Amino acid sequence: MTQSNPLRVGLIGAAGRWGPSAHVPALKGVPEAELYAVCTAHADTAQAAADKLGVRRAYGNDKALNADARVEAVLVAVRVPAHYELSKNAIEAGKHVYCEWPLGANTKEAEELAALARKKNVRTMTGLQRRASPAYLYMRELIQQGYVGQVLAVNMTLMASGVLTRTSDRTWQRDVTLGANTLTITFGHVFDAMCMVVGELTELSALVGTQVPQWFETDTKKYVDVTSPDNIAVHGRLENGAIVNTYVGVHPYHGSGHRFEIYGKDGTLAMIGGGQGGEELRRKIMGGHKDDKALQELPVPERFKWVPEAVRNNSPAYDVGQMWVKFAEAIRTGSAIESDFDHALRRHRTLDAIVRASQTGQRQKVAL
């Protein structure tokens, strides 16, 4: 694709957090796509966002955005409870849709969106952006090329911190039914990345718990009840029989970070750091074979880095920009998309199996 024919994108969520911090610099930084229009819930805030970002069009509701024939793809980057309606409206208008993860507040919403996208024959992408991360792409290639030989065991942990207090505009995530919590987002992203590298689980057992049942709102000075989980432990088997152990938790203080370790008959491969969004520059890959005295750093080859240098230096925009390169390419050429709505539905169903395993105490088979 040439720079003269960029994908024209309309952003819904120009007044939010992740859209302006990650997607805007990504879309402004890659030649394959263009931030063409913005949309918020009100005309005045939309125009203010357009003026600030130097964008051509501003819309105060999504139906007006969808009516703009120049908008080719709609980006839904708002709170999870609104993903379903906004994505549905865009698909019905014939737009290609990039929706942030989770695709829906529940699996039923994801099922309906995936089915509608197939019916309307539009291209879709879900914001599981680790699937465009150069570091994870390189790890997957190393595994496929046999760097560790037969994979025997996988261990992945992500210990984050900061769950006791939040401002009131972020405590809506305390409600598990709204679909945005440690299980769906923190765990969902890093679990999906693990599956990208080593393959899907065929069976699993799990514990999903809420260890901190109240959060303190720092601005209202009130405690609010929490039903969303903050600790997820899963173990199971991959298709090749390898044993997998994962543990993701958000704890009060001093989380130790991220480790993703793959042990095989011929060697060991690990990623240290960079387990959360916007942390591509912190991802360090280490590897070693049986005769090596210690693990050594394995630099990520340039061929996995598709975005310009300026985007690479903006951590939140890095792998998001990589996603836009691939989404634009898929729309222009018809190439495959790795994390479309059908893939998102699969991940939603895996999370459902994890919750069932925890609630019943019974090992669950995972449909592939």
In this structure, are 144 and 124 located in the same domain?
no
**314 in any annotated domain:** no
The owner of tokens 């514990």 is: 207
In this structure, are 232 and 355 located in the same domain?
yes
Helices 134-144 and 188-198, axial angle in degrees (round to 10): 30
**Taking the CA atoms of the chain, what radius of gyration do you get in angstroms?**
20
In this structure, are 278 and 323 located in the same domain?
no
**310 in any annotated domain:** no
Query: According to the model, what pLDDT value does residue 3 have?
Result: 57
In this structure, are 288 and 251 located in the same domain?
yes
**85 in any annotated domain:** yes
In this structure, are 203 and 64 located in the same domain?
no
Query: What is the enclosing helix (H) or strand (E) of 297?
Result: strand 296-297
Q: What is the Cα–Cα distance from 317 to 307, expressed in whole angstroms? A: 10
Query: What is the enclosing helix (H) or strand (E) of 365?
Result: strand 364-365
In this structure, are 116 and 89 located in the same domain?
yes
Q: What is the Cα–Cα distance from 263 to 271, expressed in whole angstroms? A: 12
**313 in any annotated domain:** no
The encoded tokens of residue 225 equal: 């009840």
The owner of tokens 């309906």 is: 112
Helices 341-360 and 188-198, axial angle in degrees (round to 10): 110
Instruction: Give me the number of domains the chain comprises.
Output: 2
In this structure, are 93 and 157 located in the same domain?
no
Query: According to the model, what pLDDT value does residue 16 have?
Result: 86
The separation between CA 57 and the C-alpha centre of its own chain, rounded to angstroms, equals: 27
In this structure, are 196 and 113 located in the same domain?
no
**274 in any annotated domain:** yes
Answer whether 220's CB lies under 8 Å from 168's CB: yes
Query: According to the model, what pLDDT value does residue 162 have?
Result: 86
Phi, psi angle pair for 250, to nearest 5°: -115, 115
Q: What is the Cα–Cα distance from 5 to 328, expressed in whole angstroms? A: 10
In this structure, are 230 and 153 located in the same domain?
yes
Query: What is the enclosing helix (H) or strand (E) of 210?
Result: none
Q: What is the Cα–Cα distance from 35 to 71, expressed in whole angstroms? A: 10
What is the four-CA torsion angle of 79, 84, 87, 88, rounded to 10 degrees?
-160
In this structure, are 236 and 173 located in the same domain?
yes
**312 in any annotated domain:** no
The owner of tokens 């592939």 is: 368
Query: According to the model, what pLDDT value does residue 346 have?
Result: 97
In this prediction, the residues of the chain whose per-residue pLDDT falls under 70 are 1-3
**1 in any annotated domain:** no
Query: According to the model, what pLDDT value does residue 2 have?
Result: 45
Answer whether 140's CB lies under 8 Å from 193's CB: no
CA separation (Å) from 95 to 72, 117, 187, 335?
A: 6, 10, 30, 17
Q: What is the Cα–Cα distance from 14 to 28, expressed in whole angstroms? A: 14
Answer whether 246's CB lies under 8 Å from 237's CB: no
pTM confidence score: 0.96
Residue 64 lies in domain: 7-130+319-340
In this structure, are 286 and 360 located in the same domain?
yes
The encoded tokens of residue 44 equal: 């005045």
**2 in any annotated domain:** no
Q: What is the Cα–Cα distance from 77 to 75, expressed in whole angstroms? A: 6
In this structure, are 233 and 277 located in the same domain?
yes
What's 327's domain CATH number? Answer: 3.40.50.720
What's 183's domain CATH number? Answer: 3.30.360.10
Query: According to the model, what pLDDT value does residue 222 have?
Result: 97
Listed residue (81, 23, 29) closest to 307, CA to CA:
29
Query: According to the model, what pLDDT value does residue 1 have?
Result: 42
